[in-house]
Amino acid sequence: MTAETAGTGQGSGTSTGTGTGTGTGTGTGTHSGTGSGTNGTAGSAARDGVRAGLRAARWAPGDRILWRYRDNGDGHVHICRPVTVVQDTDDLLAVWMAPGTECVKPVLLDGSPVHDEPLATRYTAPRTTTRAHWTGMGVLKLARPADPWSVWLFWDRGWVFRSWYVNLEAPRVRWSGGVDSEDHFLDISVYPDRSWLWRDEDEFAQAQRAGLMDARQARRVRQAGDAAVEVIRAWGAPFADRWEDWRPDPRWTVPELPADWDRTPAHTAP
């Protein structure tokens, strides 16, 4: 998952990184290369979270939650994006990340973008987290509860629709303040003419070399990608659902990033 390939202006969405994120975004660290050892636990937690989420009360349109990603190595939160709930049903969670939203993202220790680091050392170079505002148009994120991916919609200025972006990830775990997931490196861009292409295959391969994903999990991720491609080819949901015509409620304001953005969920909810 990279903001550059997804078509955003902010660059806040690279997967992995081992900074020990804190409320001030100052933690640091390096990958130990043992991420694959925690993936089974993360997968089990994700499944439990999906089941708990299906039983939980729903968020209402206009509610503000956090959409977070945990590091693939030690599991701390290293990406956090405040979003506004558009829809929350048994079948779909839709959220809006507004332009100008203050987010948390991983960076190299000197503050430079993660993608400035050569691919060979991108997942072992020390990192920290920083706060930065999302630039350009906002992003609409759609996720069905059990799907190992979410679909993001991007527009150019003037609400000219650009593309969908299928972000392969662990099924989201619901908690009282939002949802947590783990990025799986591999992604798919989908265009209005129904063409599509794989994204970040080089990072997907490097993550395996760096020990962040073992061969078994990599096969599952590739299978999830193939399943997403079948949905694209059939032009199923959400591609056929005209979400590109959706617009945010003009009364909504930009959600604030809380000081405890990296807090440990006490319980699933809401």
pTM of the model: 0.81
- Written as six digits, the tokens of 116 are 């400035």
Among 178, 198, 207, 187, CA closest to 269: 178
pLDDT score, position 265: 86
Confidence of residue 268 (pLDDT cuts 50, 70, 90): low
Average pLDDT for 247-256: 98
Among 86, 71, 47, CA closest to 262: 71
- Written as six digits, the tokens of 96 are 């809006």
pLDDT in tens, 83-138: 999 999 999 999 999 999 999 999 999 999 999 999 999 999 999 999 999 998 99
List CB contacts of 217: < 8 A, sequence separation 6 or more: 36, 39
Distance CA 17, CA 126 (A): 8
Q: Which amino acid does the sequence have at 68?
A: R
82, 200, 211, 246 from 139: Cα distances, Å: 12, 20, 31, 11
pLDDT score, position 39: 43
